[in-house]
Amino acid sequence: MVAVANVFNLGADIGAMGSAAQLVLPGTSGLYIVIFGLGSLAGVLLVPYSTYAKYLKWLTLSLFAYVGVVFFAHVHWAAVVRSTLLPHIELSKDYLTALVAFLGTTISPYLFFWQASQEVEEVTQNEGEKPLKAAPSQAPKQLDRIRIDTYVGMAFSNVVAFFIILTAAATLHAGGITDIATSAQAAKALEPLAGRFAFLLFVCGIVGTGLLAVPILAASACYGIGEACRWRTSLERKPRQAIRFYAAITVATLIGLSLNFMHIDPVKALFWAAILNGVVAAPLMAVIMFMASNRRVMGPLVIPLYLKVVGWLATTVMLCASIGVFVTWK
């Protein structure tokens, strides 16, 4: 299910990049979909991901434009604070579906596989590092690094997500645009800040995040499949050193690319991919919580009580929201 969700998600990302590029460049979105899809695949096959990401991540800074927009748009800050601290909750199909989609983009299943696999890459690439269960003396330093990386990364991603929601509410929704079907409509949210450069800024954000995300989506699914099948898996290896792993990435990317020629709206595809991610996340989170609390798996590095409480609370919320969608879906 994670593999299906990832392929659907990466196909939607490629489609979004193609539609966004069409806003500022001549040609059809189909042409750019092929260019971005094959270009992303070539990047994975030819360049180590650590090098590839080092440069592309700077494009994602354009997403902070959404933070700036709210200071140019008319925002009722009292209402924002009230609704943030005391959110309105209703047990309706539309509300719960949107909630699961939102949770699915925040705690996406592919992140579980990706982060775990990248930590394994760190161990194999850096001389002197060992698995923490075998070398618990390295745990404090490594867990501090992981903790800072995770907290800072999630803080920035959630701040940007919050302001994207706020910007859309203050510009698009306030203007009566409540059903976004195209990249052009989404780009209009940036007009109060960027004016005629809104499309260009939007394209930088979509293309930057897309080029980073497509290899992650393809590789994280293939890490899971490859490790289950005991293949040699590593994005730092050359394709000939991990043939089946890279073949799976190629197939996943090409299937995702081809979905865009089946007349699927990339905006709606992203939404439904998020819903699928939200549904799949709950059982995976439960498995992770059981493993992280088990001394046979973790040795002396079982998670502390506060993380057990927070982890099971998050898992329960994800599960209840997913069940609510199925119950209200008629």
Tell me, what amino acid is at 213? A
Q: Would you state the pLDDT for residue 330?
A: 67
- Cα–Cα distance for residue pair 247/222, rounded to 1 Å: 9
* Measured distance CA(231)–CA(243) in Å, rounded: 9
| DSSP codes, 239-305 | GGGSHHHHHHHHHHHHHHHHHTTS---HHHHHHHHHHHHHHHHHHHHHHHHHHHT-HHHHGGGPPPH
Assigned architecture for domain 2-328: Up-down Bundle (1.20)
Does the pTM exceed 0.85? no
pLDDT score for 194:
67
Contact call for residues 6 and 252 (beta carbons, < 8 A) = yes
User: 38-59 burial by CB neighbour count: b if 16+ within 10 A, else e?
Assistant: eebbebbeeebbeebbeebeeb
Q: What is the mean pLDDT of the chain?
A: 85
Non-local CB neighbours of 117 within 8 Å, separated by 6+ positions: 219, 220, 223, 227, 233
**pLDDT recorded at residue 293:** 93
CA–CA distance, 15 with 210 (Å, rounded to integer): 9
**Cβ-based neighbour number of residue 327 at 10 Å:** 11
pLDDT of residue 287: 93
Name the stretches of the chain with pLDDT < 50.
Answer: none
Alpha-carbon span 81 to 74, nearest angstrom: 15
pLDDT, residue 100, reads 92
pLDDT, residue 212, reads 80
Q: What is the pLDDT of residue 306?
A: 93
Pair of tokens at residue 160 = 């940007």
- Amino acid in the structure at residue 86: L
Question: Which of 202, 268, 195, 191 minimizes the C-alpha distance to 21?
Answer: 202
Ranges of each domain in the chain:
2-328
DSSP annotation string for 116-134: HHHHHHHHHHSTT---TTT
Complete DSSP assignment for 65-118: HHHHHTTTS---HHHHHHHHHS------HHHHHHHHHHHHHHS-HHHHHHHHHH
